[in-house]
Amino acid sequence: MYLLHAPLPPQWAALAWILLLPLALHSLIRVRSGTVLHGTQQHLWLAGVVLLAWLWTLQARFAAGAAFGLLGVAFYSLIFGCHWARLGLLLAVTLHTVLGGGSWLNFGISGLLLAVVPTLLASSLQRQVEQRLPKNVFIFMIGHGMFVTLAVTVATSTLLVAASWVLRPGPADLDQLAYALLLAWGEALASGMLFSALVIFGPHLVLTYRQDLYLPPRRGM
């Protein structure tokens, strides 16, 4: 499903690398001049890299060829924001490629689909939620942790299956897409619960959470 061994045409691979490199460089520049991770934030960021690379190796496979699994990219993007999450996801793709013995020619397309698209979509949806809905901590936890996660997971899964079908058309892709979309609901629910727990018990770990905006101090009577 994650295009590690897909027969990617060289021109596609080159185009993917050309698109990926400036976006990765842009994120690197932004994090160097922006928020710096400290202590537990660094540990969580690095742990997420390793966990995602391992998680992507756990795929359910059927005799017809369909394969699907958890993504975790939306949850990671919600915690660390667009640029820190993009760099972390690219590291996870690197580690996943090493662990899976994948083709480095395919790294560009894998990086675009598993790192660039989820972070761009998650940050865009988060801005829409922030602009259009009340500034409330419960809205933040449910709107971001569940509905943004669901939308990003569905979009990423669809693009992964579509890319797999373009490279190697087969009847199993429809089954794979159906299972992936069904699994997205469970992933959104689990991510929403974990995200809410982090916001409540460790708000400093969620870089996209702004306590002054979503939980301002009460005015004196």
Q: Write down all domains in the chain, each with its CATH number in brackets.
A: 10-214 (1.10.1760.20)
The rounded distance, in Å, linking the Cα atoms of 67 and 142 is 29
Q: How far apart are CA 164 and CA 59, in angstroms?
A: 15
CA distance 207 to 116: 18
Q: Residue 59 has what pLDDT?
A: 75
Read off the pTM.
0.89
Q: Give exposure, 7-37, as e/b (b: 16+ Cβ within 10 Å).
A: ebeeebbeebbeebeebbeebeebbeeeeeb
Can you give the pLDDT at residue 180?
78
| CA separation for the pair 1, 160 (Å, rounded) | 7
Q: Both tokens of residue 46?
A: 């690095």
The token duo for 135 is 């500034």
User: What is the pLDDT at residue 221?
Assistant: 46
Q: Which residues of the chain have pLDDT under 70?
A: 1-2, 60-68, 168-175, 216-221
